């Protein structure tokens, strides 16, 4: 069974975008003692519009995503997870 998040997808995406801007390598910013996670808590809302744009783009699945969703069964969380994983895998295949 797929885990169910209590945080909205928009907030999760916005937080990831903010964290990437603040610390692309995950190690924090030089010259600051403040943890990146604290900074993300402060600025993630600035990324909401971009996060919404990402989700709007995902409204139309690719054929690979549809097939992955069909293959996992009737549970909506499992279908969503499979479809998103298929999108990620499709990108990885295109990059290689």
The first and second tokens of residue 52, run together, are 């919404």
Q: What angle do CA 7, 8, 13 make, to 5 degrees?
A: 100
- Total length of the chain: 96
Query: How far apart are alpha carbons 95 and 23 in whole angstroms?
Result: 24
Q: Give pTM, 2 decimals.
A: 0.76
Closest to 40 in 3D by CA, of 21, 61, 66: 21
In order along its 96 residues, the chain shows pLDDT tens digits of: 788 889 999 999 999 999 998 876 655 556 666 788 889 999 999 999 999 999 999 999 999 999 999 999 999 999 999 999 999 998 887 766
Q: Give pLDDT, residue 25.
A: 65
Paired tokens of 42: 């402060």
């Amino acid at each position: 069974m797929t885990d169910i998040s209590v945080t909205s997808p928009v907030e999760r995406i916005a937080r990831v975008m903010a964290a990437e801007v603040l610390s692309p390598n995950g190690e924090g910013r030089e010259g600051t003692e403040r943890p990146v996670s604290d900074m993300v808590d402060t600025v993630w809302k600035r990324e909401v519009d971009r996060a919404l744009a990402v989700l709007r783009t995902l409204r139309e699945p690719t054929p690979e995503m549809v097939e992955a969703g069909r293959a996992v069964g009737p549970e909506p969380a499992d279908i969503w997870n499979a479809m998103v994983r298929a999108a990620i895998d499709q990108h990885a295949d295109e990059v290689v």
